[in-house]
Structure 1
Amino acid sequence: LLLAMMALDIQPDDEIITTPFTFIATAETIAFLGAKPVFVDIDEQTYNIDASKIEEKITAKTKAIMPVSLYGQPADMEAIQAIANKYNLKVIVDGAQSFGSTYKGKTDSNLGDISTTSFFPAKPLGCFGDGGAVFTNDDELAEKIKSLRMHGQSKRYHHQYIGMGGRMDTIQCGIVDVKLKYYAKDLALRQEVASKYSEKLKMKSEKFILPFVAENVTSAFAQYSIRVQNRDEVQEKLKEKSIPTAVHYPMPLHLQECFSYLGYKKGDFSISEMVSNEIMSLPMNPYLSDDEINYISNTL
Structure 2
Amino acid sequence: MSYILLLIGFVLLIKGADTFVSGASSIAVALKVPTLIIGLTIVAFGTSAPEAAVSVTAALNGQNEMAIANVVGSNIFNLLGVLGVAAIINPIRVQKSTIIKEFPFAILASLILMVLAHDTKFQGYNLNALTRADGLVLLALFAIFMYYLIEMAITSKEEMNVEKADESMPMSKAVIFSVLGILGILIGGNMVVDSASDIAISWGMSQNLVGLTIVSIGTSLPEFVTSVIAARKGESDIAIGNVVGSNIFNILFVLGISSFIHDISIQPIVFVDMFAMVVLSIVTYIFATTKKSISKPEGFLLALMYVVYMAFIIIRK
Higher strand fraction: Structure 1 or Structure 2?
1
Same fold (TM over 0.5): no
TM-score for the superposition, normalised by structure 1? 0.26
Higher relative contact order, structure no. (Cα contacts within 8 Å, ≥ 6 residues apart): 2
Could you say which structure has the higher helix fraction? 2
Task: Please say which structure displays the higher CA radius of gyration.
Answer: 1
